[in-house]
Amino acid sequence: MKSILKVKGLHVEIPLAAGPLNAVRDVGFEMKRGETVALVGESGCGKSLTALSLMDLLPRSAKRRAEVLLFNEQDLLKTSEREMADIRGNQMAMVFQEPMTSLNPCYTIGDQLEEAFMQHRKASRSETRKRAVQFLDRVGITAATSRLRQYPHQLSGGLRQRVMIAMALMCGPSLMIADEPTTALDVTIQAQILSLLASLQKEFEMGLILITHDLGIVARMADRVIVMYCGQVVETGSAVDLFENPLHPYTRGLLDCIPVLGKTKPGEHLGSIPGLVPTPIGELVGCSFYNRCSSSRPECAVELIEVKEISPGRSYRCLLSPDVCFRERGGEATR
Amino acid sequence: MVAYFLRRWLLSLLVAITVSFISFMLLRLSGDPAKALAGESASAADIEFVRVKYGLDRPILIQYLDWAGRAMRGDLGESQFFKQRVTDILGNRLGVTMTLGGCALIFAVWVGIPLGILASLRPNTWVDRFALTLSVLGQAIPTFWFGLVMIIFFGVMLRWLPISGSDTWRHYIMPTIALGYYATPAFMRLTRTGMLEVLASDYIRTARAKGLRAGKIIFKHGLRNAIIPVVSLAAVQFGFMLGGSVVIESVFALHGIGFLAWESIARWDLPVVQAVVLLLSLIYVLLTFAADMLNAFLDPRIRVK
Amino acid sequence: MNPQGMVTGALGAGQGVVFPTPGQMMRRRAYRHYGFIFGGVILVLILAMALLAPWIAPHDPYYQDLERRLMPPIWQSNSTWNHPLGTDNLGRDYLSRLIYGARISLLIGLSAMFLSGLFGSSLGLIAGYFGGRIDMMVTFLITVRLALPVILVALAVVALIGSSLKVVILVLGLLIWERFAVVMRSSTQQLRSMDYVSAAKATGCSTPRILLAEILPNLMNNLIVVATLEMARAVLLEAALSFLGMGVQPPLPSWGLMVSEGKEFMFFNPYLITIPGIAIFLLVLSVNLLGDGIRDITAPESST
């Protein structure tokens, strides 16, 4: 499978009154076609901004720079706005978190489904309409033809999110980015939307970047996982590897927070990570997780910590060696 | 949708009735209307004669209903000064005022809205600041003075434009600008605010993520949503322009109903004054009603309520 | 190393970042806001001019010197420093009239503003707070008021009752209250569901007390902004009324009246209208800038 995305050294900086906010720091990863990559982290860790910087949809004040930013072998750092607009919605599509506000209330569903396809493919209205009906069907919306004439406020949240997904698929992109697509929906609808995404991805052989803070979703959907903390990538690997053998103390901490059916005894304390996420404003020194890490050493506070790759696709950003991590984890598991 | 229409129509009707009552009562402010109508040099007997002739000895409510009834049939009384039916006089002059108001509105819309869009696309840059400065300065200039200054400059010094009367389209240029510039900032600001808000919304982000062309995003998705409050503003401003035309019409000697009203006030030709106030108020009520209906058409969400 | 390992350790700057306080930010905005400063300075100057009129005006504004009629201001030829801004068609010193005219504009502007502010805000407050029928009635009143053509009604009423300073103030005050009502109403509506209002109600505060002590203070900056706008409007309206002959009566030196009196001679003596016009412009501009400035400084999110 060929690589569709290669990112290295991605930085996003947002100027604030108190200083420049380094929202995304030295983020790098690769992705192959047909893969589902989960981008995990808590609110404010920079995962949404990373996705937006791929599409070049950052807010006007934000500044993006990267060493490498290749999409399907095309250098995104050198594309003009016009060329970028041709890529967006066409080869690279995004589904956002809030289905309630992501559709224009003044136009019908049909209009909004059709406009991108008609522009990118220069197709006729009837062709596009047929395709729109097909896709609405495919995302599980009944009575697709009459739905086309409806307005967004006439649909429920779950239906609107399906429409957003259909809209993202219309031009057959090779990469879909879904930013917390189910967070704003009912739990019962969440499962439906997720399995829809999974089957669509297989059918259309798309790369899927799934941004989420929910490890349950990661376990269900992801082939590979990228863990972000405070703007940096702290660990990457296959989902299996990550869950069985987390290398970074933050990942460990996240996994410890999850109650496991069968393992966690009733009345037992759930893990939690003490402390608060620091604000990445101004000059930054040392490890971001330092103030909350139980395995920290003095060196962690001052050294520049690079990403260590222990095998292709498996890397982490920590001074501790892999066996130390294993020992630390083993030590805590026998609490 | 029908319920909404009926409710608004009923409300407009109520406002119209109240406003007509106020215009009717306006005459009574001077004290004894019979004395006013009879004139300065009238004797007591003359005044009594006038009182009976015009039915001014009846209860107020009856007088009002009588007047309103006749007004609805198009009879607005007779002008003391012209000795003609008020309706006829108004008919002659209304065209001038409507033309002036319409042109001024077009001016304000065609200058204000594009400026507002430009300012919203480049917020806090020199374009934005320029537009805002222009609007702050514009709102401080008294209309009558602006009219006079234009007359001196364009009419006398440069001799480009005629300075009074309403014969040709050239006669309307300066009055249009004098009447329209004051409303331009309102349109500019409303468009700018609306566009800024809309451009920051999620559905614009979606439109950008779909790779739509910038023009399409600004006009099809952005302006379409931002323009909704501007429609109401246009209706209201047109109403204000018609009402405020008295100043411009006097400065430029345009024979519209504003000028007529002013002259009639000076001449104590009260039926005319009453009729003009009534007419302008009713036009305003009609305009706002039409704007509400247009709003419901433009914003699908309103129709459901 | 610091025992906590936090401050000097990871992201030292991240821990030591200082965000300015709201008060500091407000003061910073005030000093940088050119409009506010400019408007404030001009308004203070005009105010000073009005208050100190008897001492700074070189002549009596009513004294007619028919031999020195229509003398041009000093930047033109045939002028004299005795009358720096020239004289009008009755030989009255224009500078003195200008200075005394400030009194009239300010008096009418402030009085009409207070009157309409009192009336409109009260209506808006009770409409916003009590809602229901009272709200419906007030909204109806506002709609009716909006339908009436202000200038025409003002002209008619002044003509019928008789024009004088008091009448102009009264008429304007009773006509331009609608924006106060609208703004107060919507602000009150937003505030009445605030927790501190519920708390006051729960502790048994009487309604007038709630309105005056809890709600009104929070509306003050909105109120002040609207007040400045309405004052500017009152000044412009008085000028227009006087210009049309239905405002302040001669020989009072109202700026609008000065434009009207100078109109006949403006083709050869344009200064007769430009000078009072600029004065009106400056007053209205400064008041507007002040209002915009206050709004930007106290609540920058709500600025257009």
Structure tokens at C49: 């001019």
Mean pLDDT of C191-212: 78
Where b means 16+ CB within 10 Å and e means fewer, C27-37 reads: eeebeebebbe
Domain ranges of chain B: 92-267
Mean pLDDT by 10 residues, chain A (335 residues): 86 86 89 91 87 90 90 88 89 90 90 91 90 89 89 89 90 91 83 87 89 88 91 90 87 80 72 77 79 80 82 84 66 42
Chain B interface, mutation test: which of C36, C144, C152, most B Cβ atoms within 10 Å?
A: C152
Coil, strand or helix at B59: coil
Tell me A178's DSSP state: E
Residue C124 Cα distances to B236, C110, C180, C181, C201, angstroms: 21, 20, 7, 4, 20
DSSP β-ladder status, A224-229 and A36-40: parallel
Nearest CB among C244, C280, C282 relative to B145 is that of C280
Mean pLDDT of C256-268: 90
- pLDDT over 50 at C10, yes or no: no
Element housing A82 (H / E): helix A81-87
Contacts of B280 in chain C (CB under 8 A): 149, 152
- Cβ–Cβ below 8 Å for C9 and A279: no
pLDDT at B108: 95
Please report which confidence band the pLDDT of residue C301 belongs to, taking 50, 70 and 90 as the band edges: low
Q: Does C6 touch chain B (CB under 8 A)?
A: no
Q: Does C3 touch chain A (CB under 8 A)?
A: no
Q: Does B230 touch chain A (CB under 8 A)?
A: no
Averaged confidence pLDDT in chain C: 84
Nearest CB among A281, A286, A301 relative to C17 is that of A281
CB C182 within 8 A of CB C200: no
pLDDT at A293: 82
Q: What is the pLDDT of residues C74-95, one digit of tens each?
A: 888 888 888 888 888 888 899 9
Q: Does C167 touch chain B (CB under 8 A)?
A: no
Q: What whole-number distance in Å separates Cα of residue B177 and Cα of residue C93?
A: 33
Residue C229 Cα distances to A313, C178, C186, C211, C220, angstroms: 65, 12, 17, 24, 14
Q: What whole-number distance in Å separates Cα of residue C141 and Cα of residue A137?
A: 53
Q: Does B265 touch chain C (CB under 8 A)?
A: yes
pLDDT at A326: 65
Averaged confidence pLDDT in chain B: 85
pLDDT at B305: 47
CB C127 within 8 A of CB C138: yes
Q: What is the pLDDT of residues B25-63, one digit of tens each?
A: 877 766 666 766 666 667 778 778 777 777 777 777 888
DSSP β-ladder status, A68-71 and A92-95: unpaired
Mean pLDDT of C5-24: 52
Closest CA to A224 of A4, A16, A37: A37
pTM score: 0.81
CA dihedral angle for residue C150, residue C153, residue C156, residue C160, rounded to 10 degrees? -120
Tell me A242's DSSP state: H
A246 CB-near residues (< 8 Å, 6+ apart) = A235, A252, A254, A255, A325, A329
- pLDDT over 60 at C5, yes or no: no
- Cβ–Cβ below 8 Å for B140 and C285: yes
Q: What whole-number distance in Å separates Cα of residue B247 and Cα of residue B237?
A: 16
Q: What is the pLDDT of residues C132-142, one digit of tens each?
A: 899 999 999 99
Nearest residue in chain A measured CA to CA from C20? A18
Q: What is the CATH class of A3-91+171-329?
A: alpha beta
Ranges in chain A annotated CATH 3.40.50.300:
3-91+171-329
ipTM of this complex = 0.86
Q: What is the CATH class of B92-267?
A: mainly alpha
- pLDDT over 70 at B247, yes or no: yes
Q: Which residue has the higher pLDDT, B112 or B48?
A: B112
Q: What is the pLDDT of residues B113-140, one digit of tens each?
A: 999 999 998 888 888 888 888 889 999 9
Restricting to C residues 27-86, those with a Cβ less than 8 Å away from any Cβ of A are none
User: Based on C-alpha coordinates, what's the Rg of chain A?
Assistant: 21
pLDDT at C19: 66
Residue C37 Cα distances to C31, C34, C283, angstroms: 8, 5, 14
Residue C33 Cα distances to A127, C223, C296, angstroms: 56, 20, 8
